């Protein structure tokens, strides 16, 4: 067995793992780096360009795991592309959105390599995408060989976002399990990961929250109550509430929370302004509710809420008074987005509220705002420049990633010979390495740098 890390960075970036097992080759994920542009942001496909690839398997449809899929397919046109059936319902939308974003970045930022692929290329390669049920064992290599010769693959529900999966690869003598991004706890809609029966020789595991210590007495239920109380209190004033979210996953979980609050009479019924991308994926969540492992299966967000798609131009003209509620795509508040522009108007106003419910890169506008103290002047972004924070700001731990203690316990349940750590900042990875080695002395913990390989 040989495992190669194709992520161009040592931290959270363009997820992509090349696995050679029993003479066959599999690419697990094909992401793009959230902080690199053009070809600098795609996996190191050049390292395997001269090899035949049997299949590409996707853990889920967030851009850092799927954003360069068309580039990978162009490199390896004979490879089968495998994913869960729920990801199959999402992936084309995600890739077409990427084309639009790259075109805009070419125009606005002069990134000549963009777009890395076109709408036509996405349409032409879509017929080779294949969706499978969770817990269905698939022979992914050498489709012309007798049954039982090639390795198999199985998707396990990861509970992170609609369609997310851990990937089990079984060879003739060895097994590999790749967690992708995983959430063990129930969210408002999606239930936690179903990894109960996972056993593997090699575990490739995410480490996103390695430096986030779970406070004593923390519970998601209590955190949700804090969030609900904060929203209600803020809206009782004359200001507005902005909740920046990621289009796929966070948006739908927050909308579900607001819908339940309104149903219970804890929040007055009012319009919820959302981004266009958030609306797209909310419709898919509603349409696929019967196929997902989720709570509130009868909750249709489009029916339960008065959702209004807010364009950038409309947001610029809108008066920020009267207790308006914004759940706007762009969790990082990237310059040029509606979330960024609303925040720039709200930051200096004492009666406005901005609530964070997920991760924000420290170097992003959202990260800079979160680090600013009340009354502090700071550089929010290139276009907005210096702003003084006077708004009400709260952070709520409503993550869609497993906490670090859950992942350490998971290592014990999987009982691997080797753990490979991925998808985390350097200090998070270091915490996991030290803790796993102390907790499970017989387990080898490996760090594989960009472009490096490990033979087992």
Q: What is the model's pLDDT at position 150?
A: 84
286-309 average pLDDT score: 97
Q: Which residue has the tokens 């914004």?
A: 326
Rounding to the nearest 10 degrees, give the CA dihedral for residues 404, 410, 411, 412: 120
Domain limits at 94? Answer: 2-212+400-455
Residues 185 and 285 in one domain: no
| DSSP assignment letter at 214 | P
What's the rounded Cα separation, in Å, for the pair 131 and 248? 18
Residues 406 and 389 in one domain: no
* Sheet of 2-5, strands arranged across: 129-132, 80-84, 55-57, 24-28, 17-21, 2-5, 453-455
Residues 73 and 201 in one domain: yes
Residues 168 and 286 in one domain: no
User: If you write DSSP's letter for every residue of 93-151 in order, what string do you get?
Assistant: HHHHHHHHHHHHHHHHH--TT--SS-HHHHHHHGGGEEEE-TT--EE-S-TTSPTTSS-
Token readout for 31 is 């992401």
Please tell me which residue, 144 or 426, carries the higher pLDDT value. Answer: 426
β-pairing, 377-381 vs 385-388, is antiparallel
Between CA 71 and CA 366, with CA 107 as vertex, the angle to 5 degrees is 85
For the chain, percent of residues with pLDDT exceeding 90: 91
β-pairing, 55-57 vs 80-84, is parallel
**pLDDT (tens digit per residue) in 29-68:** 999 998 899 999 999 999 999 899 999 999 999 999 999 9
Q: What is the model's pLDDT at position 356?
A: 97
Residues 320 and 438 in one domain: no
Assign 148 a pLDDT band (cuts: 50, 70, 90).
low
Residues 370 and 423 in one domain: no
**pLDDT (tens digit per residue) in 210-229:** 999 999 989 999 999 999 99
Assign 93 a pLDDT band (cuts: 50, 70, 90).
very high
Domain end residue (candidates: 366, 395, 424): 395
> Is the pTM for the entire model greater than 0.85?
yes
Residue 289 above 80 pLDDT? yes
Q: Helix (H, G, I), strand (E, B), or coil: what is residue 75? A: helix
Q: What is the model's pLDDT at position 115?
A: 97
Q: What is the model's pLDDT at position 327?
A: 97
What's the rounded Cα separation, in Å, for the pair 284 and 15? 24
Q: What is the model's pLDDT at position 330?
A: 87
Residues 288 and 192 in one domain: no
Domain end residue (candidates: 372, 395, 418): 395
159-163 average pLDDT score: 98
Low-confidence winner among 79-93, 144-158, 267-281, 345-359 (lowest mean pLDDT) = 144-158
Q: What is the model's pLDDT at position 420?
A: 98
| DSSP assignment letter at 394 | E
Residue 147 above 70 pLDDT? no
Assign 146 a pLDDT band (cuts: 50, 70, 90).
low
Mean pLDDT for all residues in the chain: 95
Residues 152 and 178 in one domain: yes
Residues 299 and 437 in one domain: no
Q: What is the model's pLDDT at position 212?
A: 94
Assign 141 a pLDDT band (cuts: 50, 70, 90).
confident
The count of other CB atoms within 10 Å of the CB of residue 125 is 18
Assign 126 a pLDDT band (cuts: 50, 70, 90).
very high
Q: What are phi and psi of 162, to 5 degrees?
A: -55, 125
Residues 247 and 367 in one domain: yes
Residues 115 and 194 in one domain: yes
Number of domains, the chain? 2
Residues 232 and 355 in one domain: yes
78: CATH? 3.60.15.10
Residue 144 above 60 pLDDT? no
316: CATH? 3.40.50.10890
User: If you write DSSP's letter for every residue of 151-208 in order, what string do you get?
Assistant: -EEEEEE-SSSTT-EEEEEE-SS-EEEE--S---S--SSBPPP--TT---SEEEEE-T
Residue 156 above 70 pLDDT? yes
Residue 379 above 70 pLDDT? yes
Domain end residue (candidates: 355, 370, 395): 395
């Amino acid at each position: 067995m040989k495992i190669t890390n194709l992520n161009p960075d040592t931290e959270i970036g363009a997820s992509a793992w090349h696995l050679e097992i029993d003479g066959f080759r599999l690419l697990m994920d094909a992401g793009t780096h959230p902080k690199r542009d053009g070809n600098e942001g795609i996996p190191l496909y050049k390292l395997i360009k001269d090899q035949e690839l049997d299949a590409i398997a996707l853990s889920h449809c967030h851009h850092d795991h799927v954003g360069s899929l068309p580039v990978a397919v162009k490199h390896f046109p004979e490879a089968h592309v495998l994913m869960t059936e729920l990801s199959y319902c999402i992936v084309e939308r995600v890739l077409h959105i990427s084309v639009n974003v790259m075109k805009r970045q070419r125009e606005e930022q002069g990134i000549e390599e963009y777009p890395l692929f076109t709408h036509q290329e996405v349409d032409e390669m879509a017929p080779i995408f294949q969706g499978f049920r969770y817990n269905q064992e698939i022979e992914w290599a050498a489709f012309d060989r007798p049954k039982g010769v090639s390795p198999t693959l199985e998707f396990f529900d990861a509970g992170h976002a609609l369609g997310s999966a851990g990937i089990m690869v079984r060879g003739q003598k060895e097994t590999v399990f790749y967690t992708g991004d995983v959430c063990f706890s129930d969210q408002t809609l999606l239930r936690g990961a179903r990894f109960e029966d996972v056993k593997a020789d090699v575990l490739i595991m995410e480490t996103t929250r390695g430096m986030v210590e779970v406070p004593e007495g923390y519970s998601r239920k209590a955190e949700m109550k804090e969030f609900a109380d904060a929203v209600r209190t803020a809206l009782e004033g004359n200001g507005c509430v902005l909740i920046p979210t990621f289009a796929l996953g966070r948006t739908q979980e927050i909308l579900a929370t607001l819908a339940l609050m309104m149903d219970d009479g804890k929040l007055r019924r009012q319009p919820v302004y959302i981004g266009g991308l958030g609306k797209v994926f909310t419709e898919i969540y509603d349409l696929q509710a019967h196929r997902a492992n989720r709570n509130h299966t009868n909750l249709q967000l489009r029916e339960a809420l008065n959702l209004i798609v807010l364009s950038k131009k409309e947001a610029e003209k809108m008066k920020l008074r009267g207790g308006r509620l914004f759940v706007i795509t762009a969790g990082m508040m990237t310059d040029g987005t509606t979330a960024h522009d609303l925040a720039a108007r709200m930051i200096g106003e004492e009666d406005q509220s901005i609530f964070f419910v997920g991760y924000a890169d420290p170097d992003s506008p959202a990260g800079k705002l979160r680090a600013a103290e009340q009354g502090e002047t700071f550089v929010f972004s290139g276009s907005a420049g210096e702003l003084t924070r006077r708004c009400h700001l709260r952070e709520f731990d409503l993550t869609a990633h497993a906490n670090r203690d859950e992942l350490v316990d998971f290592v014990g349940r999987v009982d691997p010979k080797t753990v490979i750590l991925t998808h985390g900042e350097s200090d998070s990875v270091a915490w996991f390495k030290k803790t796993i080695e102390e907790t499970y002395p017989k387990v080898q913990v490996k760090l594989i740098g960009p472009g490096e390989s490990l033979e087992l």
